[in-house]
């Protein structure tokens, strides 16, 4: 079910089993599946290591996700050049995943936990919290800082 696969952006999937005809969203593995959890230093662009969360529209300010929660989000992922590499918004289908358990890149696992229900934010993710030195060719070059515009639409059964 290729349509179902599009829901799984940034999920850990064995790269060898992925066909290039599948939408980009289902081809983006987590750092753990690439084996490139890096530590120390700053990103190639000089960005602080980790994830910076900038709220662009406040949420409810009281309902925050916890590790293990099932989240529903919209996102658009871009490189610092402005080149878009994936978007649930463009597909018209929110992305569902479990937070804090390694299903997504470390920048998401840490950054999204700081958002409240309904919040829109920008996540700036250094390479070591994204896809590291290996990148995800040809979509994401090695040592790329990533920018995600995200919206937290739901936490478990709660909707924004």
**How many domains would you assign to the chain?**
1
Please report which confidence band the pLDDT of residue 49 belongs to, taking 50, 70 and 90 as the band edges. confident
Structural domain of 123? 2-159
Contact residues for 46 (Cβ-Cβ < 8 A; gap 6+): none
- Does pLDDT of 5 surpass 70? no
**Top-confidence residue, 12 or 125:** 125
According to the model, what pLDDT value does residue 29 have? 40
Q: DSSP assignment, residue 116?
A: P
16-44 residue pLDDT tens? 333 333 344 444 444 333 333 323 333 44
Which of 136, 124, 112 has the alpha carbon at shortest distance from 43? Answer: 124
Task: Report d(CA 123, CA 132) in Å as an integer.
Answer: 16
According to the model, what pLDDT value does residue 98 have? 98
92-147 residue pLDDT tens? 999 999 999 999 999 999 999 999 999 999 999 999 999 999 999 999 999 999 99
Annotation marks residue 64 as catalytic: no
**Top-confidence residue, 82 or 10:** 82
Which pTM does this prediction carry? 0.73
Annotation marks residue 131 as catalytic: yes
Question: Is residue 14 within 8 Å of 113, Cβ to Cβ?
Answer: no
According to the model, what pLDDT value does residue 157 have? 94
Annotation marks residue 147 as catalytic: no
Annotation marks residue 136 as catalytic: no
Active-site hit among 95, 97, 129, 148: 148
CATH code of the domain containing 11: 3.10.50.40
Annotation marks residue 97 as catalytic: no
């Amino acid at each position: 079910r290729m349509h179902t696969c599009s829901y799984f952006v940034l999920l850990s999937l064995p790269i060898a089993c992925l066909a290039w005809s599948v939408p980009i969203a289902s081809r983006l593995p987590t750092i753990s599946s690439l084996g490139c959890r890096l530590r120390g230093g700053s990103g190639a662009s000089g960005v602080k290591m980790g994830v910076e969360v900038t709220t662009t529209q406040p949420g409810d300010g009281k309902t925050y996700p916890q590790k293990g929660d099932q989240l529903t989000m919209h996102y658009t992922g871009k490189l610092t050049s402005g080149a878009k590499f994936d978007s649930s918004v463009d597909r018209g289908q929110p992305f569902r995943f479990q937070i804090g358990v390694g299903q997504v890149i470390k920048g998401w696992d840490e950054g999204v936990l700081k958002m409240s229900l309904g919040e829109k934010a920008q996540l700036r993710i250094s390479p070591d919290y994204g896809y590291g030195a290996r990148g995800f060719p040809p979509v994401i070059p090695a040592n790329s800082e990533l920018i995600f515009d995200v919206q937290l639409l739901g936490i478990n059964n709660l909707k924004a």
